[in-house]
């Protein structure tokens, strides 16, 4: 049996249910098109990083930065979701640099010497975009006084809200979902500024997937966007479309990392 894992946007709970509904449609559609060994349910046991290079991977969602750093040539790009949240522009999306609503910061420069929360050093939205924004202001590779690695965007939101961190970069889809379904979580926060936009989190399949299988996946996703019975699930997910992007379309993600390196700021610090 193949595996499918769509674990990037499954919290708060309405998102998990909508994602499961979307998968149920894709599963049945792919089976009708003759694809074999399509899993009944999304895999909830594998971590998303383990799913990306699983030898039987059918479909997963990754982040743009791991894609350009480690996954190029090892997986195939299927499509990139187009979301309708503020901060999204077609398949591109930004991060919101957030601070506490009652905090003094009014510019990025005001963040010098503060404590930053990052979800993961390998994250585009939580680390790579923030690093690129701060790099021009860094001095001798330093800007913040402390970096806390939280493990997730929601945990980074909580760190800023609770005062254990002063700033974090949160992708606009996560922030929009949280505002909509868990507004109390962000009630004491404000967006200081936005980062550069880069292509969003792509759907991928294994590197040896055939051209026919790739086409089946893309056609099924296209039908999912038009399927009337998925209207509610798409609304919950703020899912508007799927865009087929090339490897070259993700090069700006790598270029932002190179930009920070050129300015002597290779790591968030």
* Residue 149, φ and ψ in degrees, nearest 5: -95, 115
177-218 pLDDT tens trace: 999 999 999 999 999 999 999 999 999 999 999 999 999 999
Is 41's pLDDT higher than 90?
yes
Q: What is the mean pLDDT of residues 253-264?
A: 98
Last residue of a domain, one of 182, 198, 214: 198
192 shares its domain with 144: yes
Is 163's pLDDT higher than 90?
yes
Write down the H helix ranges in 96-250: 129-134, 153-162, 172-181, 211-226, 231-237
Q: Are the C-beta atoms of residues 9 and 181 closer than 8 Å to each other? A: no
User: pTM surpassing 0.75?
Assistant: yes
| pLDDT at residue 63, as a whole number | 97
User: How many domains is the chain partitioned into structurally?
Assistant: 2
115 shares its domain with 75: no
> How far apart, in whole angstroms, are the C-alpha atoms of residue 267 and residue 100?
24
**pLDDT over 70 percentage in the chain:** 100
**In which band, very low, low, confident or very high, does the pLDDT at 48 lie, cut at 50, 70 and 90?**
confident
13 shares its domain with 110: no
Domain around 39 = 3-84+200-254
97 shares its domain with 185: yes
The CA-atom distances, in angstroms, between 238 and each of 118, 220, 265 are 25, 18, 35
> How far apart, in whole angstroms, are the C-alpha atoms of residue 215 and residue 237?
24
Give the residue among 90, 25, 127 at the shortest CA–CA distance from 245: 90
> Hey, how many other C-beta atoms are within 10 angstroms of the C-beta on 126?
29
> How far apart, in whole angstroms, are the C-alpha atoms of residue 9 and residue 190?
21
115-142 pLDDT tens trace: 999 999 999 999 999 999 999 999 999 9
Q: What is the mean pLDDT of residues 236-246?
A: 98
* Residue 58, φ and ψ in degrees, nearest 5: -100, -50
Q: What is the mean pLDDT of residues 69-73?
A: 96
**In which band, very low, low, confident or very high, does the pLDDT at 59 lie, cut at 50, 70 and 90?**
very high
Cα angle: 99, vertex 105, 108; to 5 degrees: 90
Torsion angle in degrees (nearest 10) through CA of 61, 65, 69, 75: 20
Q: Considering only the C-alpha atoms of the chain, give the largest distance between any 2 of them, rounded to a whole number of Å.
A: 59
Q: For residue 19, what is the domain's CATH number?
A: 3.40.190.10
147 shares its domain with 67: no
**In which band, very low, low, confident or very high, does the pLDDT at 160 lie, cut at 50, 70 and 90?**
very high
Q: Name, in order, each residue with C-beta under 8 angstroms of 55's C-beta and a sequence gap of 6 or more.
A: 206
């Amino acid at each position: 049996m193949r595996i499918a894992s769509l674990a990037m946007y499954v919290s708060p709970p309405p998102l998990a249910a909508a994602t499961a509904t979307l998968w149920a449609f894709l599963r049945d559609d792919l089976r009708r098109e003759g694809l074999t060994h399509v899993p009944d349910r999304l895999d909830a046991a594998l971590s998303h990083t383990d799913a990306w290079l699983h030898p039987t991977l059918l479909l997963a969602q990754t982040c743009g930065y791991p894609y350009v750093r480690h996954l190029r040539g090892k997986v195939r790009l299927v499509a990139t979701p187009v979301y309708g949240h503020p901060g999204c522009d077609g398949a591109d999306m930004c991060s919101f640099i957030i601070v506490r609503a009652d905090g003094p910061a009014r510019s990025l420069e005001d963040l010098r010497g503060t404590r930053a929360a990052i979800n993961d050093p390998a994250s585009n939205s939580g680390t790579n975009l923030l690093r690129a924004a701060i790099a021009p202001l860094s001095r001798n590779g330093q800007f913040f006084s402390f970096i806390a690695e939280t493990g997730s965007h929601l945990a980074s939101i909580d760190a800023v809200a609770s005062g254990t961190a002063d700033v974090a970069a949160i992708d606009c889809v996560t922030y929009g979902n949280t505002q909509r379904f868990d507004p109390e979580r962000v009630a004491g926060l404000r967006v200081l500024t936005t980062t550069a936009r880069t292509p969003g989190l792509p759907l991928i399949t294994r590197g040896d997937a055939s051209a026919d299988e790739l086409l089946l996946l893309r056609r099924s996703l296209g039908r999912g966007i038009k399927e009337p019975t998925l209207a509610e699930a798409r609304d919950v997910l703020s899912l508007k479309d799927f865009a087929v992007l090339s490897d070259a379309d993700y090069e700006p993600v790598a270029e932002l990392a190179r930009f920070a390196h050129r300015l002597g700021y290779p790591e968030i610090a």
